Amino acid sequence: MATLELIGLTKKFAANNAAAVHDVNLNVGDGEFLCILGPSGCGKSTTLRMIGGFEEPTAGDVRIDGQSVVELPPNRRPTAMVFQKYTLWPHMRVFDNIAFGMRLHHVPKEHIDRDVKNALQMVGLSGYEQRYPSQLSGGEQQRVALARALVLQPKILLLDEPFSNLDALLRVRLREELHAIQRRIQITAIFVTHDQEEALSLADRIAVMNAGHLEQLDQPSQIYAYPKTLFVADFIGVMNIFNATRTGDSLRVGQYALKGATGVRGDSNLSIAVRPEDFTFGAPTDSHNSTEMWRGVIDQSIDLGHYRKVLVVVPGLFENETTALAHRLKVYMPKSADAKEGDSIALYPTRYLVYTDHTQPIEVRNQALRTSDETRRDDLSSVAVSSDALANSG
């Protein structure tokens, strides 16, 4: 089995000024499933294609099992790629598509027959040997493409958004099957996607990319809980992001003061990020300190089955309130919460992250404030963040 190292990997295309991939460093362990996640155009495919040998890096190195492969053309690298487009050769039957690579490697015929059969069985397409690609659905074509890649027993399996052309249900099913296969044969896999739900459900670790840079490399739960940069905070899951100002140890968001942030240094202009499930809330009462408890009106209350998504307008919270829709606070509440549209509400973040330009984000947990209705806050702790909730971001 195999490990992969990317060292200072950089790619500049002659046509563009900015590097498509800029100084990417990462290690992938033996049998690990790594997802490269990022918005369209951030350099995911270029990174993958440099690993597969289809693009030549401008700088940096690609090492497989400690050996540099950067000088080798794709046909001499121990990698196999599944492409986003359907790339079965239309003039060859399924059998010949899968056998093509083995024949090039002079594998004996009996072995080819056996391996093709096994590979097709693995992707659930036994008996499809004699079909032409035009006789297969998109999902079946990508399964055959996976079989074609795996049958050569590559050290590293590369997948570039292989399921993004399929409908949602099929995409989830193939993703699960791929996951099972990868676990079974313990192959090191790099999977490129722009779909965070896909990344969160497949990956051992996720590499989040933005504009050619590697922003964060972490386990999915870490990425969700401790996004290292504001970009990751915004890109992964749903996040409320505010501008804040710092004077000494006290932070202000709009007209409100934020408690509990100590040790923030550097900039006086910061950003605050709060997950929708990290609020405590209740009906407003006079006893609340008005500069600390946020007061707003529920604009929309959406029952999403196992939880409730509530959009709250809080005057004086966002700096620029011209585009009202974008500046509603997103709050997840238990389904049972009594939150009707038009209700007044008081709320406060119990956990937030502070982003400055220079340092790692600082996590602040704040249980000091209490709303009048304690039971609601306790209900809140039972709101589990499921990947469905994350998928509904954006």
Partner 1 sequence: MATLTSATPTREMALNPTLLWKRMRRELLSVVLVVVLFIVIIGPMLTVIFWAFAEQWRYPSLVPTKWGLSYWQETLTRADVTAALPLSIGLATIVTFLSAVICLPASYAFARMNFPGRQGFLLSFLATNAFPRFGLYVSIAVVFFRLNLIGTLPGVILIQIVNTLLLMIWIPTAAFQNIDRSLEEAALDVGASRVRVFLQITLPLVLPALSAAILLTFVSTFYEAQGALIIGVPNIQTMPVLMYSIINSQVIVQYGAVISLVLWLPSLLLLTFAQRFVRGNTISAGFGV
- Look at strands 33-37 and 188-193 and give their pairing: parallel
Q: Which does 101 bind (CB under 5 to 8 A by kind): partner 1, Mg ion, ligand ADP, none?
A: partner 1
Size of the residue set binding partner 1 (CB under 8 A): 24
By the rule CB under 8 A, 75 interacts with partner 1? yes
Q: Does 45 bind Mg ion (CB under 5 A)?
A: yes
Cα 156 to Cα 143: distance, rounded to the nearest angstrom: 17
Q: Binding partner of residue 41 among Mg ion, partner 1, ligand ADP, none, CB under 5 to 8 Å per kind?
A: ligand ADP
Q: Is 43 in the site for ligand ADP (CB under 6 A)?
A: yes
CA separation for the pair 296, 284 (Å, rounded)? 9
57 interacts with partner 1 by CB under 8 A: no
Q: Give the residue with the Cβ less far from Mg ion, 43 or 296.
A: 43
Q: Which of 284, 274, 386, 370 is nearest to 335 (CA)?
A: 386
SS3 content of the chain, % helix, strand, coil (to 5): 25, 30, 45
Helices (H), ranges, 58-167? 94-104, 109-122, 138-150
Rule CB under 8 A: choose which of 66, 105, 323, 382 binds partner 1. Answer: 105
Give the start-end residues of each E strand in 286-376.
Answer: 294-303, 308-313, 329-333, 344-349, 351-355, 362-365
User: Which residue among 116, 152, 159, 272 contacts partner 1 (CB under 8 A)?
Assistant: 152
Q: How far apart are CA 150 and CA 107, in angstroms?
A: 15
CB of residue 192 to ligand ADP, shortest distance in Å: 6
**Residue 46 contact, options partner 1, ligand ADP, Mg ion, none, Cβ 5-8 Å cut-off depending on partner type:** ligand ADP
Q: Does 46 bind Mg ion (CB under 5 A)?
A: no
Burial class (CB in 10 A: 0-12, 13-18, 19+), 262: exposed
Residues binding ligand ADP (CB under 6 A): 13, 15-16, 20, 38, 40-46
Residues binding partner 1 (CB under 8 A): 52, 54, 73-76, 79-81, 83, 85, 87-91, 100-101, 104-105, 145, 148-149, 152
